[in-house]
Structure 1
Amino acid sequence: MSSPTPMPEQVADRLAIRDLVDAYAHLADRRDAQGQAALFTDDARVAVYDGEPDTTEPVQVLNGRDELAEAFGSLRNYDRTTHFNGQCTVTVDGDGATGETYCLAHHLWVEEGQRTLMVMSIRYQDTFVRQGGRWFFAERRLITDWVDRRPSTA
């Protein structure tokens, strides 16, 4: 049995949420910390995990746009970043939604004269809310599945 065909408004909501997810990555790579923070509700929460949330405590918790903007600004420590978003599942329920997005986050910098590349395999587990006709992140759980750090050549 196939799943029911989504209604046009559900498709539009899912596309808008995917645009939000992709805007987050784009703004991260452009070092626009304020722009990233503006994608979140005023009282948003971001929890960072090094492993599964049901088996570990967050290593960092950020609350509100000011804390988020400050944390997002730390990407300026890298010479370049590139975030590749992969599969994204979203379930919409009225003005709320949940979803999970896979991301490979590439970070490049020079350390002690050596160009270094770090690739992080990340899963974002998100709660979204529609406010004023726009979708925002209300809560984001960033789960690091693995990290690969190595010397890199130009």
Structure 2
Amino acid sequence: MRELFDAYAHCADRRDAEGQKALFTADTRFAVYMDGEGTEPTYVLEGREALTPVFADLNRYETTTHFNGQSTVTIDGDRATGESYTIAHHLFTEDGNRMIMVASLRYLDTFAKIDGSWYFAERNLVLDWSETRPSSP
């Protein structure tokens, strides 16, 4: 699973939306919770092809760096569940000023093993906190 987590972050930082989508099952569910304490998702996408605009949205940043931290995974045959943590850095320019947005993310995942490979069957992205501030060049 660690390879799957890291491939997701790598594709995000390299702006490889197609590679990122390939990590998901065709019938995947992807939900985003912008309020870490909330119980209702901000939005939900169904199916691998619906992920394209979300992953392409990273193009608005000049660069991103996602650092994956601790994770827990429970495997039950060809299914698994897990939680992983990421600190994501997003650099951008606003009104001529270089800015950085740092976000603490948690992913609550359900995985499916298909033909010997693991995929995200469901991914819930939870934003625990974020900070936006000026960044030095």
Q: TM-score, normalised by structure 1?
A: 0.86
CA deviations 1:80-127 (Å, max 9, x no partner) are 000000001001000000000000010001111000100000000000
**Does structure 1 conserve the Cα–Cα contact (< 8 Å) formed by 2:6 and 2:68?**
yes
Match of 1:38 in 2: 22
Where 2:15 maps in the other structure, the secondary structure is coil
CA RMSD of the aligned region, Å?
Answer: 1.0
Q: Hey, which of these two has a bigger chunk of helix by percent?
A: 1
Query: Is 2:48 the partner of 1:65?
Result: yes
Q: CA deviation at 1:52?
A: 4.2
Structure (1 or 2) with the larger CA radius of gyration: 1
Match of 2:63 among 80, 84, 88: 80
| Partner Cα separation in structure 2 for residue 124 and residue 144 of structure 1 | 9
Q: CA deviation at 1:137?
A: 0.1
Q: CA deviation at 1:70?
A: 2.0
**Does structure 2 conserve the Cα–Cα contact (< 8 Å) formed by 1:129 and 1:137?**
yes
Tell me the percent identity: 58
| Partner Cα separation in structure 1 for residue 9 and residue 56 of structure 2 | 13
Q: Hey, which of these two has a bigger chunk of strand by percent?
A: 2
**Does structure 2 conserve the Cα–Cα contact (< 8 Å) formed by 1:50 and 1:56?**
no
Q: Which runs of 5+ in 1 are unaligned?
A: 1-16
Change (3 A) 1:151 1:140: same
Query: Is 2:73 the partner of 1:95?
Result: no
> What letter corresponds to residue 27 of structure 2 in structure 1?
D
Q: Which runs of 5+ in 2 are unaligned?
A: none
**Does structure 1 conserve the Cα–Cα contact (< 8 Å) formed by 2:87 and 2:105?**
yes
The aligned length equals 137
Match of 2:11 among 17, 20, 27: 27
| Partner Cα separation in structure 1 for residue 45 and residue 99 of structure 2 | 27
